Amino acid sequence: MKSAYIIAHHLISALGFTSKKNVEQLMANQSGIRLSDRYSKGLELPLALIDKTAFPFEYKKEYTYLENLMIHSMEESLHQATFDYKSERCLCIISTTKGNIDLLSNEKELDIPKERSGLGNMAEVIQKYFQFYHVPMVISNACISGSMSVITAQRMIQEDMYDHIIVCGGDIASEFVVAGFNCLKAMSHQACKPFDAHRNGISMGEAVATVLMSHEKMPSEKISFEILGGAISNDANHISGPSRTGEGLTLAIQKTFEMTALNASDIDYVSAHGTATLYNDEMESMAMYRTALDKVPVNSFKGYIGHTLGAAGVIEIVMGIECMRANMLIKSLGYEENGVEHPLHIIQENATKAQTHFLKLSSGFGGCNAALIIQKQEA
């Protein structure tokens, strides 16, 4: 069995246009969430939006907003590596929930056919741009898409199906999703407060995140990150409300422990899904309690970048490994007072801690859950 490593990455979010900028802002506890009525005329909502006035690249008119961001992020990632991404041994996985959803309403961008709102069409446009050998695999599994894409890539590299996999997760904020979450009464009216007693919903974010995964470590790097394994489960309980018992997520965590031959005492840090809805955070803390993770330092990055849907797993995995590289635990922004039945060890101030294993959790509509463990290795 081969190992799968993350060898390079690139992030675009409300915190900035590079991984470096994103990590700096995290370490400084700066949030990208601002009140805006851009997608909810007359109603100010906290959103974590990418700064469209500051693109560090030339915007290509024949591509959509999301495609421009994805192309830039993948190019910046590929510049950091030397493998032949046009080879048969390389696959691209695109993780997105809504893709070019703005095309459904945006009458201005008529240069771009509406068919591009089809995720498969978008993937083929990206394939053509990079001249990838294979048509990209598109994973659209609600808010676990990103974590799931990284797990999927790890499994395929493990079996030697590919040498390199480019995982690009992306979703944009839109009137479509903002109106939707708002009608579900799931949108917070202030910056989101994961796991806090006064949490009352999500802050919508947008992001594009790319990781390059490889069967071999980057020889020049002293520190490597290996994806040890992960699992996906379903609550089989409700399509839009998470299980009250945390059963599904518990199962994903237990399977991940089994697969990696690790347990809760080996985990140095957990990056929770932590959307700050009442139900998600309650369910997630229940699952962490049931798997003895309630004493392990945990945060949610949603207070920094909002909920970035199909990008969430990918960007939060990158943030997690960069915190692990720096041996830093980052404050869970928005948290003040415990608001769940089984209190967790929420990181309340930045701290240093030597870290080897990090656990990422994701849950989403449709009852889906994902868990994966990443190990830091020093040469």
Partner 1 sequence: MKTFVQHFVHIHAQKVFIDGVLRYEETATALDFAAFIRNVYKYFEMQYPKFYKMDDLSKLAFVGAELLNVKESTLYKSEDKGIVLMNRSSSLYTDALHQASIADKSDYFPSPAVFVYTLPNIAIGELCIRHQISGENYFFVQSKFNAAMLTNYVALLFRQRHVQQCICGWVELNSNNFELFLYTVEQKSENAVKSAHKSPIFASLSLEGNHILNDTDNIEKLYKL
Q: What residues from 337 to 376 belong to the interface with partner 1 (CB under 8 A)?
A: 364-368
Letters for 90-119 (x = contact with partner 1 by CB under 8 A, - = none) are -------xxx-x--xx-----------xxx
Q: What is the DSSP letter of 307?
A: B
Nearest-approach distance from CB 136 to partner 1, in angstroms: 9
What would the x/- binding string for partner 1 be over residues 154 to 173, using CB under 8 A?
-xx-xx-x------------
Q: Which is nearer to partner 1, 136 or 334 (CB)?
A: 136
Decide whether 238 or 353 has the Cβ nearer to partner 1.
238
Contact 12, 70 (CB under 8 A): no
- Beta bridge mates, 232: 370
Burial of 306 (0-12, 13-18, 19+ CB in 10 A): buried
Interface with partner 1 includes 211 (CB under 8 A)?
no
The 121-140 site mask, x for binding partner 1 (CB under 8 A), equals x-xx----------x-xxxx
**SS3 of residue 374 by DSSP:** strand
The CA distance from 111 to 239, in Å, is: 37
Q: First-to-last CA distance in the chain? A: 21
CB nearer to partner 1: pick between 123 and 267: 123
Could you say which of 233, 299, 355, 375 contacts partner 1 (CB under 8 A)? Answer: 233
Which residues, 6 or more positions from 131, have their beta carbon under 8 angstroms from its beta carbon? 86
For residues 256 and 231, is the Cβ–Cβ distance under 8 A?
A: yes
214 binds partner 1 (CB under 8 A): no
- Cα-Cα-Cα-Cα dihedral of 211, 212, 213, 215, to 10°? -160
Report, in Å, the least distance between residue 261 CB and partner 1.
14
Q: Which is nearer to partner 1, 180 or 217 (CB)?
A: 180
> Tell me, what DSSP letter sits at residue 105?
T
Q: Which helix (H) or strand (E) holds 8?
A: strand 4-12
Q: Does 232 sit near partner 1 (CB under 8 A)?
A: yes
Q: Could you list the residues that contact partner 1 (CB under 8 A)?
A: 41, 97-99, 101, 104-105, 117-121, 123-124, 135, 137-142, 148, 152, 155-156, 158-159, 161, 175-176, 179-184, 231-240, 247-248, 251, 255, 364-368
